[in-house]
Structure 1
Amino acid sequence: MAHSNEQQPNKPDTQQMRQIRELVLGSNGQHVTKTIKDNARELVSEVFSEALHDRERQDGSVNKVLLPLVEKSVEKSIEANSERFVGYLYPLIGSLVRKYVTAFITELLEKTNTLIENSLTLKGLSWRFKAWQSGVTFSQYAASQTFAFRVEQVFLIHRETGLLLNSVSLGLELKADADMVSSMLTAINDFVSDSFTSNSGKIEQNLDVVRTDDFTLLLKKGPKASVVAAITGNMPQGVANQLQQTLEEIHKLYDKELDNFNGDSIPFNNSEHQLRDCLMTVLKPESNTDKRPWMALTVVLLVLIGCGFLLVKRWQSHELMNQVSAIDKAPGILLTNIDTLGLEQIQLEVLRDPAALSVQEWLEQQSIDSSRVILKERAYLSLDPSLIKHKTELVVARYSNVTIDWVDNSPKFKGKSTNLNKLLLQAELAKLVGLNFQATLLDDLIIEGTENTAANDPELIRAILDLNIAKIDRVSISFEPGKSDLSELDLEKLIDIKEQFNNLIEIAEQQELSLGLIIMGASDTVGTASFNKILSQKRADVVKLKLQDLGVAANRLNAIGLGVIKLKTTKEGARKVLFNVVYFEGG
């Protein structure tokens, strides 16, 4: 009983203490809470820095929590005060751009060097073949051979629904093709389905690693979310440890968001900072083998040799063209075109007078290999003074007792000749174009021996005939542009032609020759080709009709329109009617 009496006062004491606490602290400690709230600013300010420092040193969570908040604050501040921030950052932009460009160029050079080393070597070709055999791209295979391991992508997945909350990658969204991303997501989708689907009444599947030909999928499960990493190469244990650490941090930081997840992944956007800690890369150790790109050097050397060979051949062709171009200075040869033909030959197009030196002889004189020159040659009559002298000397050389001297490009003939030879020489010289021969130039020749009369000497008659024909062939009728009318001077010329031609008919009949006169009309290059053709024919017809009116038999005249004559003359010189006397056996 005594013991019972001692316990009775305890109940009032306990009740009294509870009442005292309520009086001091208030109901549910409201007085303390109010006091702390009233003095919270002073209390927190005294320990705030130390608390942040201690927590950051403990697990590093302060930086990961504050970093997304600071980034959002800076982003909103820049959007609201963009012009002010531009002013703040303007002095730094120049140096930042230079540093960025320098870093970019350095990275580009390193990548280019790696590409050259691994693409133009035996190893690179072997890798390409093995990549083709495996059905993967060369870049994927090269990465597998270059890196000991590399975490390509990390996925944060909601445990209950299996929905993707966030993901990060090593630039895959920029560098990988759509097929690779699609196949990876498909594999992940299947993996997630296998990992999170519960069999009714059975133990839930628990897959930690899925291996494929291209990469490995590593899963770390948590109570509310899971982290999946896609890894290439041989995965070390450190990757699994990092995934586990990241998963714990995400559960700690996003616990409420995971509990209240309704399919919206926006609250987990800031989890990228935690997921990026899992993107780990380790290169394979460098081997001691010689990594110089011998194949690349060989290709470059062959290209340089080929370029050098082409340059030498081009230089030789250029020198040959310079040598051959000098042919234009040769008398009676006119260069119209020269061009390269392949690596060693050139094509040469010239106009050459029949009396001029042949192109082959000229090439031999210049010590030029004629096999390297493809020649296209056309004939023309040259008015070069030296060539005219040469032609004249060739004609005179056939007459043994006649010599020639030149005084200011004018010939002086001396020596002895028969009357027949004089007439023959006169006929040949009269045919030379550009000589401007006159019969008086032969007056200094001494005529020797007795001669038969013209009526009894057929050779003399033929010489006289040729001489007079040459006189008619040298005559031409000129016209005004676009006209076909004859002037008074033209009528006088036609009268002379009529008389000379009729006289020739009598001489030709003595030799039983039939004589004819061809009248050739020509035009300049002004106007269309069809108009010039008609105009040239009209001019020839006008001259023919006038000769008929003057008494020349129509059956001995033949008018032809030549159209445009392309000669190196003036346009006025091309507006002519030319004559050509022809004869043939038979009366």
Structure 2
Amino acid sequence: MSQNKQTMHEEEALEGALSPIVNKLIDKNFENSGDKIATQIAPLIGGAIREQIKSQKDDIVDALYPVMGNMISKFVTKSFEEILNKINDQIQNGLSIATLKRKIKAKIKGVSETELLLEESSEAKIKAVLLIHKESGALLCKVEDDNATLSDADMLASMMTAIRSFVNEWVESNDKFQELGEIEYGGNKIIIEASGYSYLAVIVEGAAYTKTYEKIRAALEKIVLSHGKSIQNFQGNFETLDKESIEQELKSLLLETKPLEVETQKKKSPLLFLLPLLLLLYIAYVFYENSIDTELQESIYSRIEATPQLLPFKFTVDVDNKVATIKGRVPFEYHKKLLQKELQSISGLKAIHNKVRVVPTLTDPLQVSANIAYLLQGFNLAKNNNIRYDFDYNTLKLYGTLANKQTKERLLNALKKIQGIQKIQENIIIQQPNIDTNLYFQRGATTLDTTTKEALLKVIKSIKENQITTPLRLTAYSDMVGSKTINRELAKKRVQSIQTFLEENGVSNSLVSQIFDTPPPHVDAVKDPKEARRITLTLKQSKSDV
């Protein structure tokens, strides 16, 4: 006994001596190897937390909800603000037919445009439905859409139970009993509907409408009424549940699409159909009235054209709502009264506003046209002159052909002297006569014989009668008899003889010559030497001839 006491005293003495040293070593080790210690202890802490959640879940919730609750609240508030800002930007900046239709629809339904846009943002589609036991978090039953498969539904059920319990504990601080309603992630959401000893977790893609929530509640109510007792007594044995019957109820939710929109279309106000109809009727009425005004306008123009006394004058006619307004100018009051009288006989006109001005100094277009015709008749008597005209209220248009520029200038000067012509538009072509002539010489001769002189005199007469000032062209050819030098000299002398004869007979046109030591194209010098050594006289064509 005494030996045991002695041993205890020795241990206490040893502990008292080593404790300060060990504590210092531990503190120093923590300071120098903090990262290493954290790495080694982390797995132990993780396991301890999991064990604590299993055994004392409520204590963990009480410890974390002040921090987590505040964080969740801020996140939800911020997310909702961002959604509203995006929607408002779309409403304010959007300017399209769809935007206008949405504004009208929102007014008719009595909701804000933002709410309507949220409602129309997407189509609700239920992807999966889970029936979960409240207390244990066990997955009692599940149904899934063909295109959506949950990889680990049991894990999701446990997580949903833990999250639901956590949030419900947090909101109980407000002294009001509230349930977690839904969880959003990405474009989807999980709608949570609880009743009795179980709750439904419904995974929805897109926007969920009121009808969606009502159908989820109705399905859960049927399950609770039919299977509430077996769910209440559930102890982990799934054979106690009628899973087939529960699945049938859950599958009915997968048919949920977008009933609200369908019902809205069925319950549309008759005003929505009446307004487009009234708009169409108004448009048809406007088109009908415009067609009547157009027909009346055409009738007025036809009546004016059918009245010889009014035909020379220019009038503008405007018809609006069967009221005609006439503007223009006439030389006498007689013409204005005649116009009024003719238009009054047109049926369908409500009123006639005759704003035609009487201008005494205005020349009678008929007289002006007669003077123009008389002048042109004299000019057209000359050969190669053929001028026609159109006269439309002070504007004269000329087109046709004249023999030369001099005649054109004399014609335009004469027309300018006729009173009543303010503007002349002409498209006159100078049609010069054809004076092309072949001149022939005897072999080796350079003088003009009688036949050649007679041919030249005809050309000279045409030049003088038509006042042709265009340069003349002489083209000399050779019969290739003898040397090229001799043939070129003969051609030059023949051209000189022709030029001298023209000048002696009063032709002052400039002359351009071209000499070839070969026959004309397609001429055989052996068979027809006379044609081979001819000289051709023509007019030199240029842009100024037109």
Q: TM-score, normalised by structure 1?
A: 0.28
Q: TM-score, normalised by structure 2?
A: 0.29
